[in-house]
Amino acid sequence: MTLRISVIGTGYLGSTLAAGLAEFGHEVFGVDVVPEVVKKLNAGQPHIFENGLEHLLEQHTRSGRLRFTLDYDDIADWADVHFLALGTPELPDGSADLSQLHATIDALAPKLTKPALVVGRSTVPVGTAPALQERLRRLAPAGDGIELAWQPEFLREGFAVGDTLRPDRLVFGVQSDHALRLLEQVYAIPLSEETPVITCDLATAELIKQAANTFLATKISFINAMAQLCQVAGGDVTVLADALGLDARIGRGHLSPGLGFGGGCFPKDIRALAVRADELGVNVLSDLIKSVEVINSAQRIELAELAIDQVGGDVAGKKVAVLGAAFKEGTDDTRDSPSLTVADYLHDRGAFVEVYDPQAHLAPRDGFTQVGSVTEAVRDADIVLHLTAWPEFRYLDPAELAPLVKSKIIIDGRLKLHAPTWRDAGWKLVQIGRAATL
């Protein structure tokens, strides 16, 4: 059955969700407050880089099933279901900033005169949803006819379209059969493909998302701590990770060592969970999370210091080529990018840093320069740093790059380069956690 659905917020979650719901056959209105964004989306053009999104947007804006608006009057009583896909950035104390959710409810609710289901998709501290429902009901003429459900998202940047169309699980935090039935209609297509569903209360739904991100971040920090140990003890962390990953209870996912995690989700979400755990007196959890963060930050500094060692202990006046600015491959997102922390650290110590990334565009920054190709970045470099695991970096020909650089030293911060190929071409290739490469 075709539903009328609004998706409020058109960031990487909202624009992918809106396009995905249109692909499921629904009539969809996306809402944003930025006129240029709405204009672009209505022309079928994404305002972020996400694999496959342009095709979906183009297809469904053309078919008329997908539209975007600035005006809540277009959607308030039109939609059967309203999705809230708004950001919850970090406040200075590490807690989640809910102001976008509050502002949206304040704009939408006074226009809701008919019963409707509002579904939160943002990542929020446990206990947020009931307070939002109370705010909705207080402000909406439809009052108790407005119901809130919570459906956490698990989209990975770079795979957001696939994760929307073929989710590995759906979590429905609901308070009534009516809400559950509506969500089942929204997701009739993935449900017909036997996507597993977890139905639960609002608090569990809120927590599942934060727990998933924190667990994955913990896996990454665990393997990075093991990388440190391998380095001093003489082991190989990639072999260790492969062996651990073959244990079905552990799994190989998010066990890749290297520069650690960054981006717009893990860092802020785990800090927000730590703050909430402290507020609720569960300090054992916040202690665990703090250790995960300490390991993660240390990894960036470790790599930068290793680069300084490799150029002889002083990087001032040296040219450093940085391959990769995005926080991971497949995205143009540079929020809390480990690569840029390393670049900043070296620049602060006097290095001349040139960065190349296939997608990310850096705002002009003091000190280091973004260049348009690997060749430009590595020309006359005293050291090359491979910091984002873009596939194209794996296929670089070290023999072709060798005559361009001043010194054939490369640090593989993502442990993805084929060490024998680089060594055979005369390079010194260093990987943290593979002692034999040091």
- Alpha-carbon dihedral 330, 331, 337, 342, rounded to 10 degrees: 50
- If the CB atoms of residues 11 and 405 are measured against ligand UDX, the closer one turns out to be 11
CB of 168 to ligand UDX, least distance (A): 9
DSSP state letters, 399-425: HHHGGGSSS-EEEETTS-S-HHHHHHT
DSSP state letters, 170-197: EEEE-SSHHHHHHHHHHTHHHHHTT--E
Q: Could you tell me if residue 251 is left (phi over 0), alpha (psi between -120 and 50 degrees) or otherwise beta?
A: left
CB of 141 to ligand UDX, least distance (A): 34
Q: What is the DSSP-derived secondary structure letter of residue 388? A: S
Across 151-278, the runs of DSSP E, i.e. the strands, are 170-173, 197-200
Across 304-358, the runs of DSSP E, i.e. the strands, are 319-323, 352-356
Q: Is 265 a catalytic residue?
A: yes
Of 265, 389, 415, 419, catalytic: 265
- If the CB atoms of residues 30 and 433 are measured against ligand UDX, the closer one turns out to be 433
Q: Is the dihedral of CA 328, 308, 300, 244 positive or negative?
A: positive
- If the CB atoms of residues 80 and 157 are measured against ligand UDX, the closer one turns out to be 157
CB of 83 to ligand UDX, least distance (A): 15
CB of 235 to ligand UDX, least distance (A): 18
- If the CB atoms of residues 23 and 157 are measured against ligand UDX, the closer one turns out to be 157
Q: Which two tokens stand for residue 133?
A: 């429902």
- Per the CB < 8 A criterion, the answer to whether 94 and 273 are in contact is no
- φ, ψ for residue 410 (rounded to 5)? -130, 135
Q: Which two tokens stand for residue 167?
A: 């989710």
Overall residue count recorded for the chain in this entry: 438
- If the CB atoms of residues 327 and 390 are measured against ligand UDX, the closer one turns out to be 327
- If the CB atoms of residues 24 and 266 are measured against ligand UDX, the closer one turns out to be 266
CB of 167 to ligand UDX, least distance (A): 10
Round to whole Å and give the CA distance between 318 and 353: 8
List contacts with ligand UDX (CB under 6 A): 153-157, 213, 216, 220, 254-256, 258, 260-263, 265-266, 327-328
Residues labelled as active-site residues: 265
